[in-house]
Structure 1
Amino acid sequence: MDMKLMQLVICIVFLVFATGVQADERTRRHERLSKVSHWFYLLDFDGNSPVMGRIAKSAYDMVVVEPIFTERENAGFNVSGMVRRLKGKIGQRLVLAYIDIGEAEAWRTYWKPGWRIGNPGWIVADDPDGWDGNYPVAYWNEGWRRIWLGKGGYIEALVRAGFDGIYLDWVEAYSDENVIHAARRDKVEPRREMIRWVRDLAAKAREADPAFLVIAQNAAELADDPEYVRII
């Protein structure tokens, strides 16, 4: 067989195989979620509280919790132990980490002294609903992306801690007027950048865990985009 033809055949076989693997992974993720009939959502809690034991013994199929170790005051928290406990004795309960991907939060470990609106430049405004310490961001900026996707970043830490997935807040950031203004300044399209952002978060996590779940809390209109649907 001609060498170039052989290379072409190998490429086609690889693409078919890769497409099949991706489809199988999506099916597996959907199957995991299809078994969830009751779920629980808990933020702003003490990871050592007795409530953890009650959740562990509950009938919930899935729980969404604050990962805790990303809080500056709880950076040393044993999150892996919490996740194992929440999964239960047979480990069938799904445990997802709540993360805000469209706003910076002043109590997180990444927040540095002196940060404010405009410093760094990707912090664009105060929270439009008045939540103190929350700031919409230009989520396409490499500084913000590095916090999550960089080596030793939050996504690696969440996967390593044993979370089954991430539960995304502020996906609708692309519709915030201050974010739109920043996008015009940077000559990017904010809706398209949000889809890229969710895609890259998912891809980073799925490098280590192909079945890793990605659930968006809001921005339901993005479900009209086929690429976005494939991601989640």
Structure 2
Amino acid sequence: MDNKLLAKLPARELDLIKPHLQSVDLRYMQVLAETDEPINHMYFPTRGVLSMVNEPEDGDIVEFATVGNEGMSGVPLLLGTSTMPSRVFVQVEGAGFRADAKRMLDVLKETPIFHARLMRYIMALLNQVAQGASCNRLHEVQERCARWLLHTHDRVNGESFVLTQEFLSQMLGVHRPTVTIAARMLQQAGLIRYSRGQIEVIDRPGLEAAACPCYRLIIDQYARLLDET
């Protein structure tokens, strides 16, 4: 299992979960959960990136969290509610597993280790949201841009991925011209190659050095919480 929530589960629990998992492609811009609509499925990505966004009344889209193979979509179901006031869609295409929400909730009653991992994932996700809010207030756009590119790079196969300036602006909470400047500076420093929405990481250590400390804080929290037994 390439999804970290499913990986390393005891065989007994995995045997109970597997019949409810369907392999699916995650298509670019595919909506997995709509605002205030019932959540019918949980998704466990194995590659690619999901985006969780809010849409204020003025029509802007603001991303507040991303999900890769470390996590899942459908968190509200684990907290006893069937909807959320946000939208989840595929930002970078990939693949994963889909499970019927009601059936998976029933399975969780028989898989205590899996349930505990999901609860710790919620804590890690909350840490990501909180750290992101602090980062947006404290750090320069170029540092934040490097951080988001690293998070995306962690979740895809290979060194390149599609990420438009529109998505980058949503991720960073800034206007597109600001994103253009930040991406150009990273490219001029020889850290990335960016052309027509295609980003290639060409100096991973350099990009990590250019990112704010939030990148390391977030991934360390995920590693610590998901590695607990």
The structure whose RCO (Cα within 8 Å, separation 6+) is larger is 2
Larger radius of gyration: 1
Question: Which has more strand, going by share of residues?
Answer: 2
Using structure 2 for the length normalisation, give the TM-score: 0.36
